Chain A
């Protein structure tokens, strides 16, 4: 098993370098002189020379690329144009929320998707089955941002003054805030990657609450993510439900299921141990394939619920042409995506011993 993981990790390197090539190329493709684009009206000849020296733009393209790779490897994504902050700080501030939302949506979509799929498969051609599949068809066709708006309307206006009221916006309720871990643990002197990681954990309201044992913060943080997670997860839920249904139906028609039944096993044991377990591989595959969509969905939904995540900042950056941020976000999102796919691959090997031996 460990050699399988090691092999897969080695295969990651070309992909990671490819991602850097793409993001590097994208920023080099920006029309116009980077100096004019970055400095705008303030661009004079003398200033441009200093600027180009500072960013190494006077070197050859291969040299620039090597420099870019080395910087990124050290967690240096440059500084934002508007307020001259390190891009890594902006990422550490914005990324945790997007990841929290993606993870919650994945959990929601997988749990209910598999549940609905199993119910539909076990009651094939019943009303419950038809209803689930109609729901799934509508679910995959809904624009996430529209669903988000409708949920916000329903839960905060229609259900106002009921216990089901859920706030439509912002990360935390007034009066609830996170405690910076660096301050709490006296780790203000950390540098580079360690500092970045600590900031990431510290800025994730959920992790922060868990680490400091702050139940009030944890409740509030989750409460505000319910609606966005529902909106983000619905498409994937539908896809997972469909896949679970068809995969389970396939498996339940296999000979070994008939054997299990004929030797008198209880039906529950047959379905969960012989059926669902073998049906899981295509389901895990489809969950893995959904992660990119969930990440994109999180980015879209943040802007609706006024959540301070990567998405809203990236759109701002695009409209104000703040390229270092876009570049940093693109690299990071791609890296996260690649790593989640790796985890999915490893889980196949866990689920199906045959894959490990290949």
Chain B
């Protein structure tokens, strides 16, 4: 009896797997991926923080407070700070602002920064890559060789050069990062397009009289969606890091925007006497980047057809 059930069970399990559609299979694998689970929980908390920043933050992120000591250490009631004192979970920054409120508002900016830069890069890069792969011949060479040259520059340094031309500022720094990311997505999409454009289902569709546009968008492009999702998720992590780096150098977001990189840059010289001002914004950046990296890893494992064992 017990022997029969143990031999039957795995059989049943493998049958249900075989019956599932690839998308559902991937979703199921993603749900059971440990690091993806951790990543999703972290991202959910970040998103909630960003959405309800105005409810969570106890103070205004931009206005200096009165009656506070500049760069004072955190005051937390649970950890023994006098109950009469107003609570400052992460302390006061160099401009008498409540650091916790600034870090909370920073989550809004960081998520927006990551998602917009990657969206722009995917739109432009994806279109270029799709055209290159679909048309082939000289348009392919022209587009891809031009993008190769962009890739000859280390991406953050290219972004710095572009900011040099556009002038420092948050929007310009985002544009610079988006430009440096274009070749990555162009390559991903082109590879996907090239790999399927001569398949029978595309030829069949062409034989049925589908227009070139329809062939490209309805038949060929969806095949490169999978690697694009993975690259995009990991790209958000990279874009957030680069944007923080540019702001840290003073080339991105400007005073008094609550941007984590800028917060680190403003207080880098006080790391020895007020380390909390450096610690918390850095943790915020790390947690955000980590969540996208973990989800990206999970997606890659879940969507990789080689893992269909």
Contacts and interface: CB of A to CB of B under 8 A. Distances in A.
Given A15-B149, A146-B285, A146-B286, A303 B154 contact: no
A146 B262 CA distance: 11
Q: How large is the interface on A (under 10, 10 to 19, 20 to 34, 35 or more residues)?
A: 35 or more
B17 interface: no
B186 interface: no
Given A143-B285, A146-B278, A292 B155 contact: yes
B237 A150 contact: no
Contacts of A317: 164
A201 interface: no
A156 B261 CA distance: 23
B46 to A, nearest CB: 13
B64 interface: no
A326 B153 CA distance: 13
B252 to A, nearest CB: 12
Contacts of A284: none
B138 interface: no
A299 interface: yes
Given A137-B293, A145-B248, A337-B152, A30 B157 contact: no
Contacts of B152: 15, 18-19, 334, 337-338
Contacts of B158: 330
Interface in B248-296: 248-251, 261, 264-265, 268, 271-272, 275, 278-279, 281-282, 285-286, 289-290, 293-294
B161 interface: yes
B153 A337 contact: yes
A131 interface: no
Nearest to B260: A143
B282 A146 contact: yes
A29 interface: yes
A150 B161 CA distance: 28
A209 interface: no
A141 interface: yes
Given A141-B286, A300-B248, A315-B250, A19 B149 contact: yes
Contact of A326 (B149, B164, B275): B164
Interface in A283-337: 291-293, 295-296, 299-300, 303-304, 314-315, 317-319, 321, 323, 326, 330, 333-334, 337
A343 interface: no
A26 B161 CA distance: 8
Given A22-B150, A157-B272, A318-B251, A330 B286 contact: no
Contacts of A141: 237, 241, 286, 289-290, 293
B302 interface: no
A300 B241 CA distance: 12
Interface in A9-58: 14-15, 18-19, 21-23, 26-27, 29-30
Contacts of A300: 156, 245, 248-249
B75 interface: no
Contacts of B153: 19, 22, 292, 330, 333-334, 337
A120 interface: no
A318 B149 contact: no
B272 A145 contact: no
A18 B153 CA distance: 11
Nearest to B297: A137
B170 interface: no
A149 B160 contact: no
A333 B156 CA distance: 12
B155 A296 contact: yes
A27 B164 CA distance: 9
Contacts of A144: 245
Contact of A318 (B155, B164, B248, B278): B164
Contacts of B163: 318
Nearest to A295: B154
A315 B279 CA distance: 24
A291 B250 CA distance: 24
A157 B274 CA distance: 12
B165 A29 contact: yes
Contacts of B47: none
A149 B281 CA distance: 12
Chain A CB count within 10 A is highest, among B162, B164, B268, for: B164
Nearest to A327: B161
A145 B252 CA distance: 15
Contacts of A153: 271-272, 275, 278
B250 A295 contact: no
A146 B241 CA distance: 11
Contacts of A292: 153-155, 157
A243 interface: no
Contacts of B249: 300, 303, 315
B212 to A, nearest CB: 30
Contacts of A27: 165
A140 interface: yes
A341 to B, nearest CB: 8
Given A299-B156, A299-B157, A138 B286 contact: yes
22 contacts: A14-B145, A15-B152, A18-B152, A21-B149, A137-B35, A137-B297, A138-B286, A138-B290, A141-B293, A142-B289, A143-B285, A143-B289, A145-B264, A145-B268, A153-B271, A156-B272, A296-B155, A300-B245, A315-B160, A318-B163, A319-B168, A319-B250
Given A18-B148, A27-B165, A292-B155, 18 more contacts: A19-B152, A19-B153, A138-B290, A141-B290, A142-B289, A143-B244, A144-B245, A145-B268, A146-B264, A146-B285, A150-B279, A153-B271, A292-B157, A296-B156, A299-B157, A300-B248, A326-B164, A334-B153
Interface of A: 14-15, 18-19, 21-23, 26-27, 29-30, 137-138, 140-146, 149-150, 152-153, 156-157, 291-293, 295-296, 299-300, 303-304, 314-315, 317-319, 321, 323, 326, 330, 333-334, 337-338
